[in-house]
């Protein structure tokens, strides 16, 4: 009887003192560029690139070994810069993220779906093309933390629409490109 009370008391004390399980939240503002694809991202490949089409945005989410990420990116002049046009691509992707949850070096992979919204406005002919398209992304990267909550993130992802997009110059193709980025990794 005495022994069972002792075991029960020890178990209750251990449960009361145990640290609650928590998931790491993160926020990562990023800057990068797009490449690849057939639609004018400006660069045939990551290393063979004459004119970078910049991309900036923010990723945020939470999790431990498995987590969730929301990624919002914007690329002005995605189809090229001309004095008579205004164009951009907006991406809003929801991803499942699988990564190493401990240590200063944290690699990860991700995949998800969301909105890919290309826009093209020709100022000379007042033609406006836009499409809200459902798409997917897949990629990965690494977070390198210098302290408990601050580091840098390197990321590479491939994005593609599920359906064809019909702009005047685009001729029923899927929008397909890669994004390489670096960002400030904030963990809380």
Q: Give helix then strand counts, H and E, for the chain.
A: 1, 9
For residue 172, pLDDT beyond 90: no
Greater pLDDT, 135 or 171: 135
Minimal CA–CA distance to 89: which of 58, 123, 55?
55
Compute the chain's Rg from CA coordinates. Answer: 22
CA atoms of 132 and 36, how far apart (whole Å):
21
Q: What is the pLDDT of residue 15?
A: 45
pLDDT in tens, 30-55: 999 998 876 555 566 656 666 668 99
Domain extents in the chain: 24-187
- pLDDT above 90: percentage of residues in the chain: 54
Q: 178 near 92, Cβ under 8 Å?
A: no
CATH of 24-187, one of 3.50.50.60, 2.40.160.20, 3.40.50.300, 3.60.21.10: 2.40.160.20
DSSP secondary structure of 66-113: EEEEEEEEEEETTT---TTEEEEEEEEEEEEEEE--SSSEEEEEEEEE
**pLDDT by residue (tens digit) across 79-125?**
888 788 888 999 999 999 999 988 999 999 999 999 999 988 887 77
């Amino acid at each position: 009887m005495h022994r069972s009370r002792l075991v029960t008391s020890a178990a209750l004390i251990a449960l009361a003192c145990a640290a609650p399980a928590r998931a790491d939240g993160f926020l990562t503002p990023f800057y990068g560029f797009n490449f690849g694809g057939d639609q004018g991202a400006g660069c045939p490949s990551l290393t063979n690139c004459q004119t970078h089409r910049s991309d900036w945005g923010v990723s945020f989410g939470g999790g431990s070994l498995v987590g969730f990420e929301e990624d919002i990116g914007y690329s002005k002049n995605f189809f090229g810069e001309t004095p008579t046009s205004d164009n951009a691509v907006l991406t809003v992707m929801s991803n499942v993220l699988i990564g190493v949850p401990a240590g200063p070096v944290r690699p990860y992979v991700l995949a998800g779906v969301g909105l890919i919204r290309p826009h093209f406005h020709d100022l000379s002919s007042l033609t406006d093309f836009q499409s809200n398209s459902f798409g997917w992304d897949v990629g990965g990267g690494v977070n390198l933390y210098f302290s408990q909550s601050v580091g840098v993130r390197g990321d590479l992802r491939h994005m593609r629409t599920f359906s064809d997009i019909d702009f005047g110059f685009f001729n029923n193709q899927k929008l397909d490109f890669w994004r390489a980025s670096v960002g400030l990794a904030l963990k809380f």
